[in-house]
């Protein structure tokens, strides 16, 4: 099984949590292709040990940052956690050995709780990718912005089953980069926009368990339907059926957008899963930050200070 994951030094902690969750729950030898513009020796050793200790193999792929340096990075607060590394997945066919014909791509904000062998064995012959589709109120707006037929919907790129051989044979990387160049000002969600715009009709719709987005845990998601000019475009009947049970024992959790589980305001019902897979790593004592408590503590200290100042003015 071939896994591709991308990170920089700022995201190594989260990458390690994702890798641990993958390897602990999938006890088979995997080939992990790590894409990066460069990691410190310390961080690379940490990742290497996590992978080797679980009987898998690390392939470190160093990327020339100039390959993606001019790609659009919209300045939105909700996207501020995303770095240029998000575009690395578009380069997979030219970065990996010719012998690699299929991979599973994982973002570093996902947790894998069960076997993914069924995902790996999914047949995507004659298609470019397999992906889970989003269910949000603005899907129609995104599809219109990207100018492809509404009925195809919009998939999330955080977990992808990629037919690398198809990409090479059909020059998909070139098509994706060309689309971004020609539609630079229309790009909001980085490479995910390009993937949807170019591969909308070459994507296998995967069961939502393979990429359980944060919105899938919300009760009102069951009411979402894509409507345009009074006509139902997508009712997501298949996903709605799956969401009756999947959120209670999820297979792959994707902590989409902010706050992330390592942020204080995260209310995701499975946020503790992130910490579970930091055990036996340099971050096993990492604690969820508590800025509100910290703020109240500083205020209380300041109040005590002024009380003492009024009572004992000569000590200052």
- The DSSP result for the chain, as a single string, is -EEEEE--GGGHHHHHHHHHHHHHS--S--EEEEEES---HHHHHHHHHHHHHTT-EEEEEE--GGGTTTS-----GGGTT--GGGGGGGGHHHHS-TT--EEEEE-TTEEE-S--HHHHT---TTSSEEEEEP--TTHHHHHHHHTS-GGG--EEEEEEEEEHHHHHHTTHHHHHHHHHHHTGGG-SSHHHHHHHHHHTTSEEE--GGGGEEGGGGSGGGGG--EEETTEEEE--HHHHHHTTTGGGS-SEEE--SSS-TTSTT---TTTHHHHHTTTTSTTTT-----HHHHHHHHHHHHHHHHHHHHH-GGG-
Q: Is residue 11 part of a domain?
A: yes
What CATH number does the domain containing 122 carry? 3.90.550.10
The 252-254 sheet, strands edge to edge = 110-112, 252-254, 212-213
Tens-level pLDDT at each residue, the chain (316 residues): 999 999 999 899 999 999 999 999 998 899 999 999 999 999 999 999 999 999 999 999 999 877 776 776 666 555 555 677 778 899 999 999 999 999 999 999 999 999 999 999 999 999 999 999 999 989 999 999 999 999 999 999 999 999 999 999 999 999 999 999 998 888 888 899 999 999 999 999 999 999 999 999 998 999 999 999 999 999 999 999 999 999 999 999 999 877 888 888 888 999 999 999 998 899 988 876 665 444 444 455 555 545 545 554 554 4
Q: Is residue 43 part of a domain?
A: yes
User: Any bridge partners for residue 228, and if so which?
Assistant: 231
CA 201, 206, 211 angle in degrees (round to 5)? 120
Distance between CA 36 and CA 12 in Å, rounded? 11
Residue 103 is encoded by which pair of tokens?
């991979």
Phi/psi at 166 (5° precision): -60, -45
- Residue 141 contacts by C-beta under 8 Å, 6 or more apart in sequence? none
Q: Is residue 107 part of a domain?
A: yes
Looking at residue 203, what is its pLDDT?
Answer: 98
Distance between CA 218 and CA 151 in Å, rounded? 24
Q: Is residue 13 part of a domain?
A: yes
Looking at residue 164, what is its pLDDT?
Answer: 98
Q: Is residue 214 part of a domain?
A: yes
Which contacts (CB < 8 Å, 24+ apart) does range 40-43 have? 40/9, 43/9, 43/12
Looking at residue 300, what is its pLDDT?
Answer: 53
Q: Is residue 40 part of a domain?
A: yes
Looking at residue 72, what is its pLDDT?
Answer: 62
Pairing, β 155-163 against β 129-133: antiparallel
Q: Is residue 316 part of a domain?
A: no
Residue-wise pLDDT tens digits, 130-169? 999 999 989 999 999 999 999 999 999 999 999 999 999 9
The model's pTM: 0.87
Angle at which helix 12-24 crosses helix 41-53, to 10 degrees, equals 10
Phi/psi at 5 (5° precision): -145, 150
Q: Is residue 298 part of a domain?
A: no
Domain span including residue 126 = 2-288
Residue 181 is encoded by which pair of tokens?
């160049």
| Number of domains within the chain | 1
CA 70 to chain centre: 22
């Amino acid at each position: 099984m071939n896994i591709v994951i991308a990170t920089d030094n700022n995201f190594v902690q989260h990458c390690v949590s994702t890798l641990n969750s993958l390897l602990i729950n999938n006890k088979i030898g995997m080939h992990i292709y790590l894409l990066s513009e460069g990691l410190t020796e310390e961080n690379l050793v940490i990742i290497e040990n996590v992978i080797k200790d679980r009987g898998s193999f690390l392939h470190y792929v160093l990327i020339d940052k100039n390959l993606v340096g001019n790609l659009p990075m919209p300045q939105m607060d909700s996207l501020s956690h995303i770095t240029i590394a998000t575009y690395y997945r578009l380069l997979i066919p030219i970065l990996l050995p010719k012998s690699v014909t299929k991979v599973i791509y994982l973002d570093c904000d996902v947790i894998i709780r069960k076997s993914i062998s069924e995902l790996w064995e999914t047949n995507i012959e004659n298609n470019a990718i397999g992906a889970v589709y989003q269910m949000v109120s603005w899907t129609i707006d995104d599809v219109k912005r990207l100018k492809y037929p509404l009925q195809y919907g919009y998939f999330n790129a955080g977990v992808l089953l990629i037919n690398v051989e198809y990409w090479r044979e059909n020059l998909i990387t070139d098509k994706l980069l060309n689309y971004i160049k020609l539609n630079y000002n229309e790009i909001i969600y980085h490479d995910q926009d390009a993937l949807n715009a170019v591969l909308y009709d070459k994507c296998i719709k995967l069961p939502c368990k393979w990429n359980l987005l944060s919105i899938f845990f919300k009760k009102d998601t069951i009411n979402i339907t894509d409507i345009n000019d009074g006509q139902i475009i997508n009712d997501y009947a298949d996903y709605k059926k799956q969401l009756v049970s999947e959120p209670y024992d999820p297979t792959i959790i994707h902590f989409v957008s902010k706050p992330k589980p390592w942020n204080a305001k995260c209310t995701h019902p499975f946020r503790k899963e992130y910490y579970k897979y930091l055990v036996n790593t340099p971050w096993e004592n990492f604690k969820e930050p508590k800025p509100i408590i910290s703020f109240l503590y500083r205020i209380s200290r300041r109040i005590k200070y002024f009380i003492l100042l009024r009572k004992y003015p000569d000590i200052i």
